[in-house]
Amino acid sequence: MNEDKPIIFSWPGQEGLALGLQAKVSAEAGRFEWRRFPDGESYLRIVSGLKGRTAVLCASLDRPDDKLAPLLWWAATARELGAKRLVLVAPYLAYLRQDARFQEGEGVTSRYFAKLLSTHFDALLTVDPHLHRYRSLDEIYAIPSRVLSAAPEIAAWVRGEVERPVFLGPDAESDQWVSRVAALAGAPYAVAEKRRLGDRQVELRLPQVEAWSGFTPVLVDDIISTAATMLETLRQLKAAGWPAPVCVGVHAIFAGRAYEDLSAAGAAAIITCNTVPHPSNRIDISESLSTALSEML
């Protein structure tokens, strides 16, 4: 055991990304055991020695309600076993939707979630968090955080794989992000107008896109969850006689049958980054993550 080397642990399902980080950061691979008892409680044992060491946990926080308790038990155990510093690499960071109290009695869960993680970890590294009313994670997280953008990796993939792309963003909020991806790819872009009617229903109005006849539409969003926005965009593009679009997302959440619905609706391809493990992962962000992690350690 080399106490000068950081030690990187992988949450179940995140092994591929963690292995890439271990190699690029020159870190030791950590081992721990986690399983559920028949009644649903967690058993957790950290096998690797941690005394005086920096421990990194690679754990994307999709389906957070299933992961939160064992994640905190891991951090508390690591601390008691002598780890001097705990770094959470969460390529996807959950609980940013509820960033205000929209109705009387609602919980502002983004703040509560941030407080829990800030209490148990010393630093946070993530990719394209879904910030809306918060300008930065520093407004709610009490620990140092580093935010990466997958825009360069997405732009590079589109440049190499899509002929004459035109990027379409889902709403005004996406303008700044989509415009950056388009600029990096050297391609035009447009942004739709969206009104959300419910958790799974949206009303969408596409911009005037006649000027880009002959281009391949690339629908891009930070999170593909229900895919309602992409499905409605795809429907309107199809009705207007456009070719099947390429659907690109950073985070492959795909609630319910969203992935199957997009495929059935006629998407030419469904592509995501490997922030959340999924068969659609084609864009690797491990290089950027490892560079940022090296700077944090």
10: nearest Cα among 48, 43, 40, 41: 48
Query: Tokens 């319910």 label which residue?
Result: 256
Q: Can you give the pLDDT at residue 208?
A: 67
| Options 3.40.50.2020, 3.40.50.150, 3.40.50.300, 3.30.1490.20; CATH of 151-274 | 3.40.50.2020
Q: Can you give the pLDDT at residue 110?
A: 94
Mean pLDDT in the chain?
Answer: 91
Q: Can you give the pLDDT at residue 194?
A: 60
Q: Which residue has the higher pLDDT, 275 or 175?
A: 275
What CATH architecture applies to the domain 7-149+285-296?
3-Layer(aba) Sandwich (3.40)
Tokens, residue 13: 């399902």
Q: Can you give the pLDDT at residue 198?
A: 55
Span 224-251, average pLDDT:
90
Contact 180, 149 (CB under 8 A): yes
Task: Read off the pLDDT of residues 4-32 as tens digits, 9 standing for 90 and up.
Answer: 789 999 999 999 999 989 989 989 999 99
Q: Can you give the pLDDT at residue 202?
A: 54
* CA 91 from centre of chain: 5
Q: Can you give the pLDDT at residue 190?
A: 85
Q: What are the residue ranges spanned by the domains of the chain?
A: 7-149+285-296, 151-274
Q: Rg of the chain over CA atoms, in angstroms?
A: 20
74: nearest Cα among 124, 135, 120: 120
Span 91-101, average pLDDT:
91
Distance CA 230, CA 224 (A): 8
Q: Which residue has the higher pLDDT, 201 or 222?
A: 222
Q: Can you give the pLDDT at residue 173?
A: 72
Tokens, residue 208: 């005037």
Q: Can you give the pLDDT at residue 241?
A: 84
